[in-house]
Amino acid sequence: MPAILNYLIHLLLAAGLLIVFFIIYTRVTPYKEVLLIRQGNQAAALSLGGALLGFSATIASSLMHTADYQQFFAWAFGAMVVQLLAYVVTTRLLRMSKDQIESNNSAFGGLLAAISLSIGAINAACIS
Residue 1 has pLDDT above 80, yes or no: no
pLDDT of residue 84: 94
pLDDT tens digits for range 11-64:
999 999 999 999 999 999 999 999 999 999 999 999 999 999 999 999 999 999
pLDDT of residue 67: 80
Cβ atoms 21, 80 nearer than 8 A: yes
Residue 128 has pLDDT above 80, yes or no: no
Phi and psi at 41, nearest 5°, equal -75, 105
pLDDT tens digits for range 51-93:
999 999 999 999 999 888 888 889 988 999 999 999 999 989 9
- What pTM does this model have? 0.91
List, in order, residues 6 or more apart from 50 with CB less than 8 Å away. 110, 112, 113, 114, 115, 116, 117
Total Cβ atoms within 10 A of residue 111:
19
